């Protein structure tokens, strides 16, 4: 589809939708105010005290600032180091960065991340933990914590991260932002330094849902689906369609994984959403969904233990002891165990694609309240941290973390839920309605 034609259709769909949703939707779906080059540079420079940027530059005038994670090659922003401080030798510009630049985004900052990208608490004993600007007693979460924190500091900018188990959506949740994970595909991750290729996906983080939709609209093959999702949101509000939200999490399982406050708020939120026009919530037990987590863990650790030494051997000398122990565990898995895990995951993906179709799976984004800085190491490599977000990676679904109004975490960020689906159109429409057409 011609890009100009796609943007015209997107604009028409947005105009129709805002007429149904009113002023709140206009604020959500109209283009955000883009910071001036000087405003962005000053905001980025002020963020060094939170360990968020590794490099700041003045974005090109008239273009939207793009923040790149430290495992992605972006022009003019130095070499990617995978959060280790050691360049990993990537060459060329990441393909998705090229697409975003063609759509009017200007690389303006390189954001810090968890060491080697394998933890999700903002933990980095080498470059410094990424501190949450909302409340400096807490981290941003990770591993895309630097980009998320910078996107919070500079509204109207877009952060490009990566997500192999929740690394874009978790810091989005703890900073009160939108965080979208694309499906895992070489189309989106070419030019990324990744040590878990089976699950690695590109992630987009912003305070503006419109900016994320605009970025999606710039990716060849997705442009028509973006405006179709916006159009579907209009139909939901008119009563001409319905999106099915599937909740696979029963209270007893939730409390075995997550903090009680996270679970209580989630079920209160679900009760509220059941009254939202155009959304139907169904509770469904999916035991296989949770059993696949073990296979994902085996495959992730097997790949990481073998690829990190090849990607950056010097990085291992600086790796924290908990990470070394994790990599040692990964190296103990045999190739046959790895292949068995991949086979189980492949079977699970085919099964759930057939079962779920265009429905949307809903879960809490995080399993615990904000992570205090002094506890970043304690929880850094806990599988429990990614128990909800990793499901979308295991099943290779598109997924988005949404800030909601029902409650706040102790760091000040609004409560976050994650929607995941094989249908980008259904995902976009549900995200719009739950963000603009809901009081939940």
pLDDT at 5 over 80: no
Confidence class for position 1, pLDDT limits 50, 70, 90: very low
Q: In this structure, what DSSP letter does residue 437 have?
A: S
**420, containing H or E segment:** strand 414-421
pLDDT at 407 over 70: yes
Instruction: Check whether the bond before 24 is cis (ω within 30° of 0).
Output: no
Whole-number Å distance between alpha carbons of 408 and 96: 33
Give the pLDDT score at 241.
81
Give the pLDDT score at 12.
57
Q: How far is CA 257 from the centre of its chain?
A: 20
Residue 266 burial (10 A CB sphere; 0-12, 13-18, 19+): buried
Confidence class for position 3, pLDDT limits 50, 70, 90: very low
Over residues 273-313, the pLDDT tens digits come to 998 888 999 999 888 899 999 999 999 999 999 999 998 88
Instruction: State the chain's mean pLDDT as an integer.
Output: 91
Over residues 165-178, the pLDDT tens digits come to 999 999 999 999 99
Over residues 227-245, the pLDDT tens digits come to 888 888 878 877 778 899 9
Which pTM was predicted?
Answer: 0.94
Over residues 7-39, the pLDDT tens digits come to 455 555 555 555 554 544 555 566 788 999 999
Instruction: Match domain 3-286+347-436 to its CATH number in 3.90.1300.10, 1.10.600.10, 3.40.50.300, 3.40.190.290.
Output: 3.90.1300.10
- Bridge partners, 139 (sequence order): 131
- CB-based contacts of 335, cutoff 8 Å, min separation 6: none
Alpha helix ranges (H) inside 218-334: 223-238, 251-257, 260-273, 287-311, 313-318, 321-331
SS3 137: coil
The mean per-residue pLDDT over the stretch 65-90 comes to 94
Confidence class for position 55, pLDDT limits 50, 70, 90: very high
Give the pLDDT score at 261.
97
Q: How far is CA 375 from the centre of its chain?
A: 22
Distances (CA, A) of 222 to 151, 187, 215, 235, 349: 23, 12, 10, 20, 21
Q: Taking Cα atoms as reference points, which of 324, 89, 342, 325 lies closest to residue 199?
A: 342
97-111, 138-152, 223-237: the lowest-pLDDT one: 223-237
- The tokens describing 153, both together, are 């500091």
Whole-number Å distance between alpha carbons of 285 and 93: 43
């Amino acid at each position: 589809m011609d890009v100009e034609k796609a943007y015209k259709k997107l604009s028409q769909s947005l105009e129709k939708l805002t007429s149904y949703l009113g002023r709140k939707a206009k604020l959500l779906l109209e283009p955000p105010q883009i910071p001036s080059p000087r405003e962005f540079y000053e905001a980025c420079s002020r963020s060094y005290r939170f360990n968020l940027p590794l490099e700041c530059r003045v974005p090109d005038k008239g273009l939207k600032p793009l923040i790149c994670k430290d495992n992605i090659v972006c022009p003019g922003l130095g070499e990617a180091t995978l959060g280790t401080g050691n360049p990993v030798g990537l060459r060329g510009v990441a393909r998705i960065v090229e697409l975003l630049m063609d759509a009017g985004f200007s690389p303006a900052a390189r954001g810090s991340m968890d060491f080697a990208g394998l933890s999700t608490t903002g933990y980095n004993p080498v470059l410094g933990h990424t501190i949450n600007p909302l409340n400096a007693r807490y981290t941003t979460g990770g591993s895309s914590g630097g980009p998320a924190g910078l996107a919070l500091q500079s509204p109207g900018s877009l952060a490009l991260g990566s997500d192999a188990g929740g690394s874009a959506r978790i810091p989005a949740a703890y900073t009160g932002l939108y965080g979208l994970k694309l499906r895992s595909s070489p189309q989106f991750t070419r030019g990324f330094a990744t040590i878990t290729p089976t699950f690695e996906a590109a992630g987009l983080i912003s305070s503006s849902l419109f900016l994320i939709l605009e970025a999606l609209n710039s990716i060849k093959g997705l442009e028509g689906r973006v405006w179709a999702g916006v159009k579907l949101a209009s139909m939901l509000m008119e009563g001409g369609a319905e999106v099915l939200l599937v909740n696979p999490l029963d209270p007893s399982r939730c409390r075995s994984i997550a903090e009680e406050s996270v679970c209580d708020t989630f079920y209160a939120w679900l009760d509220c959403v059941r009254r939202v026009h155009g959304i139907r919530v169904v509770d469904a037990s999916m035991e296989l969904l949770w059993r696949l987590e073990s296979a994902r863990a085996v495959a992730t650790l097997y790949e990481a233990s073998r690829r990190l030494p090849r990607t950056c051997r010097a990085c291992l000398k600086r790796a924290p002891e908990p990470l070394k122990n994790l990599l040692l565990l990964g190296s103990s898995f045999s190739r046959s165990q790895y292949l068995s895990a991949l086979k189980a995951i492949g079977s699970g993906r085919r099964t759930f694609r057939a079962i779920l179709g265009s429905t949307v799976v809903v879960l809490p984004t995080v399993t615990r309240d904000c992570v205090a800085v002094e506890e970043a190491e304690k929880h850094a490599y806990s599988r429990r941290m990614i128990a909800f977000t990793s499901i979308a990676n295991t099943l290779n679904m598109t997924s988005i973390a949404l800030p909601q109004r029902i409650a706040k975490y102790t760091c000040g960020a609004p409560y976050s839920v994650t929607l995941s689906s094989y249908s980008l159109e259904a995902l976009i429409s549900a995200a719009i309605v739950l963000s603009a057409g809901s009081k939940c």
